[in-house]
Amino acid sequence: MGTRRSVHPLLLEPTYWRSRLGELGEQRPSLLLTPRPELCGGGRDVVEFRIRTHDGEALWGLLARPTLRAGPWPARIRSVGPAALLTVNHRWVEDGGAEFVFQQAAGRKLEDRVLDVVHVSRMAFHTEGIDRFRVTYPPPCRGLDLDEFRIAEQLFDGKFC
């Protein structure tokens, strides 16, 4: 595992993010969960989620939870690109972790992607059975540097969220 580099300090400007997160906090959360029985089995329960983002876009993904182990579960949040197949990591779930995987819309600005991660993170924090203190994001790998996750992680660590 490599160490994560810090994002540029201007991307963590407290006054900018406080106002953006303040707007986010004023919104009424909208969450729709739909069972996905065709994806269940093998020690996992899977539901599809749809939420409205801060700018009114639909964000959708999958939530997979273990059925053979009682919570609280650690959770992992990750995203896939707009053209990628939305799948869960069966091994992670069967080993006792929950996974939130969502599809990024094409052409979203970094600021919007950060707020999408914040939306899904907050959903994870309030999902029954999830250990909110063990919610993690994907590490950078194979040259992929997911700034939106690193910024969101630093925002939560900095108590801006």
CATH at residue 133: 3.40.50.1820
Write phi, then psi, for 58 (nearest 5 degrees): -85, 130
What is the span of the domain harbouring residue 39? 30-157
Decide if 74 is inside a domain: yes
d(CA 132, CA 160): 16
pLDDT of residue 26: 59
- Residues near 2 by Cβ (< 8 Å), separated by ≥ 6? 139, 140
Say if 19 falls within a structural domain: no
DSSP 10-52: GGG-HHHHHHHHHHHHHSPP-EEEEE-GGG--SSEEEEEEEEE
Angle at 113 between CA 111 and CA 114, to 5 degrees: 65
DSSP state of 68: S
pTM of the model: 0.83
Walk along the chain (161 residues) and give the pLDDT tens digit of each residue.
344 555 566 676 767 777 777 766 656 668 889 999 999 888 899 999 999 888 888 899 999 999 988 879 999 999 998 989 999 998 999 889 999 999 998 898 888 898 899 889 989 999 999 999 999 988 765 545 578 888 888 788 765 55
Domain total of the chain: 1
Q: Is residue 150 part of a domain?
A: yes
* 22 is a domain residue: no
